[in-house]
Amino acid sequence: RNPHPPFITSTMQQEASRKLGFTTTRTMQTAQKLYEGIKLGGETVGLITYMRTDGVTLSEDALVNIRGMISTQYGEKYLPEQSRVYKSKSKNAQEAHEAIRPTDVNRRPEEVKEYLNEDQLKLYDLIWKRTVASQMENAVLDQASVDVGSPDKAVILRASGSVILFDGFYRLYREGKDDAGEAAAKGDGDEKQLPQMTEGEALKRLETELEQHFTKPPPRYTEASLVKSMEELGIGRPSTYASIIRILQDRNYVVMESRRFMPEDRGRLVTTFLTNFFEQYVQYNFTAELEEKLDDISGDRLDFKTVLNEFWKPFHEAVDGTKDLTITQVLDVLDEALAAHFFPETEDGTDPRKCTNCEDGRLSLKLGRFGAFIGCANYPTCKFTRKLKLSEDDVAAGDDPTASGPVKLGEDPETGHHVQLCKGPYGFYVALMDPEAEAAADAAEAEAEKKRKEEEAKAEAEGKPKKKTKAKKPKRPKPKRVSIPRGTPPGEVTLEQALSLLSLPRDLGNDPESGEAIQAGLGRFGPYVKIGTTYVSLKEDDVTTIQLDRALEVIAKSGKKKINLGEYEGHPVTIQKGRFGHFIQHNAVNTTLPKGTEPESYTLEQAIERIEAKREKEAAKAAGGGTAAKTTKTKAVKKTTKAKKAPAKKKTTAKK
């Protein structure tokens, strides 16, 4: 087995995804910090070379240092006779920069560990190992098949794989795989490692498992495999892989499930629209060929005006061909193209498009103020709607109880207001409606509509041009509303449950240690308990019945509760848990807790030392000129302001 070349942008993103679980964005942000520089002993040092590259070559100085490192640390048997030279396999490789490597290979990961955060250390360790391994000796493996049989030869089982004879670069680094079967599919026989065995050796059976295998479709893309495919197809550049993937997620075209991309309905709609109306611009070869033309332009082999003219004329024609289409015409095309997805065949053979709320209604793709949805063709007579994609809650709910409008569950005994089950763009909810206020709003709305029609009739009688106007709707009172918890079938919601939900958030009492108020409520991300400004999700407990003692227990287990150490300078000193671990908070000062420190055993005196150290550090930094410049600027502004006021007073006095 030959070692893999040192990292380029795409392979670094792939390996960081496989081995570290990093997203492409997280990888590039971390690499940027390593490239820009880390403070080592008072000096800022860049630890890696430029991280946006498609070149696999290493400088001569780097090769000399790496080979010296291998010889010293691992021995001559791990050092090949000559330096390894790699060539890029990428279609559009520009190779303007060398491969991603440590700026000094003698700076081992364990030596810079104390200066790096967790992400930086993991990525630097990965880059260091890959770089050194790329110049190590081959790994030697023996491809083997082993037959294991019962004493009477009635059962014979075969295992195929490889046995390592010399580990070579394997001693330091092995490339990851997205799937267990990926290597086998590519003929990499070393995916299964077999132990050393001799013919006739007796083996002890530990366990027997029966397995059945079926042919599976290609797996969904991971970030690593998507970057790899983009590189192979010539889509994008090293500098754009991460941003392309981030945009797909930010726009909700895809969603990550179990570290794999799953297409969302919004993404399906956009893709179907583009493939039906702008087909040539979403072809893989269009992007790849355009990248090649851009390379030719940068190399003075092609005039940029020629490329623009070739692109603009057909693109302008495609836009002209679609700009006059109505929304209905576009929806009809999308409805037909995505019929199998939105209206799959039913098990009983009934028409999947038949409306379940009326006799002769046909379901189709519609567009509303909150986006696309499935609706009945008999609207407004039939108001049946459903989301494009049914969630697990929707499937559990069965028929929509609100298909014909809000359902009245009863009345609130305290106010007499109506308790209703409703459905909005984000799911089912219960609402407390004031019948008198609603009736008044309905009457005002009807009066406004009547007035509008009278004005239109008057204008028509006078021969004035007919204008389409809308009656101004009166402001309706906003009722209290609470979403139904996930997993609750809307058809089974009772008046009692609805009233319990409408009573949220509930005051449970105060924390006996800090005196902070504790509440239980239902938010955007589900049920929670809250202490001060800290929220803790409830996974098992019922938000409508949980009591103070249980809430305190849940908060304590979460580790999010503040630890009050005491007061300093009239302000509380607390230990809190943030995204990157525990930290000390005092007034406007936040400082991290030393690594390996138990928050529960930390004292006020130790915290004060950290606070003062942070202040001294910030004061020293300010003395460097940043704050002074800011102060000078502020004073200058104040002087200017006074100068403007003075003439104004003199002018007024002169007039008098």
Residue/partner pairs of 469-472 with CB below 8 Å, 24 or more apart: 471/445, 472/448
**Are the beta carbons of 412 and 499 closer than 8 angstroms?**
yes
Nearest to 313 by CA among 302, 325, 321: 321
Preceding peptide of 572 cis, ω within 30°: no
Nearest to 100 by CA among 12, 38, 32: 12
C-beta atoms surrounding 404 within 10 Å: 12
Question: Residue type at 498?
Answer: A
β-bridge mates for residue 523, sequence order = 526
Pairing label, strands 534-537, 563-568: unpaired
Nearest to 542 by CA among 518, 517, 522, 516: 522
- As a three-state string, the secondary structure of 195-221 is CCCCCCCCCCCCCCCCCCCCCCCCCCC
Question: Residue type at 291?
Answer: E
C-beta atoms surrounding 247 within 10 Å: 11
**Are the beta carbons of 180 and 191 closer than 8 angstroms?**
yes
Rounded CA Rg of the chain: 34
The answer for residues whose C-beta is within 8 angstroms of residue 547's C-beta and 6 or more apart is 508
Structure tokens at 486: 């996930």
Pairing label, strands 581-586, 571-578: antiparallel
Question: Which residue is it, tokens 């095309």?
Answer: 333
Nearest to 370 by CA among 395, 388, 344, 393: 388
β-bridge mates for residue 572, sequence order = 567
- Residue 14 has phi, psi (to 5 degrees) of -65, -50
Nearest 5°: the CA angle 535, 537, 543 is: 100
Nearest to 423 by CA among 373, 363, 484, 382: 484
Question: Which residue is it, tokens 């003929």?
Answer: 187
List C-alpha distances in Å: 484 to 301, 390, 502, 505, 598: 63, 16, 10, 14, 40
Residues recorded for the chain:
656
What is the C-alpha to C-alpha distance for residues 225 and 22, in angstroms, rounded to an integer? 13
Q: Extract the runs of DSSP E, i.e. beta strands, from 151-292.
A: 156-166, 254-257, 260-263
Q: One of 35, 50, 74, 568 is an active-site residue; which one?
A: 50
- DSSP H helices in 577-626: 604-621
What is the C-alpha to C-alpha distance for residues 647 and 638, in angstroms, rounded to an integer? 15
CB neighbour burial string for 412-428, b if at least 16 within 10 angstroms, e if fewer? beeeebbbbbbbeeeeb
What is the C-alpha to C-alpha distance for residues 268 and 277, in angstroms, rounded to an integer? 14
Catalytic site residue 50? yes
**Are the beta carbons of 375 and 363 closer than 8 angstroms?**
yes
Element (H, E) at 506: strand 506-510
Could you report how far apart the first and last alpha carbons of the chain are, in Å? 97
As annotated, the active-site residues are 50
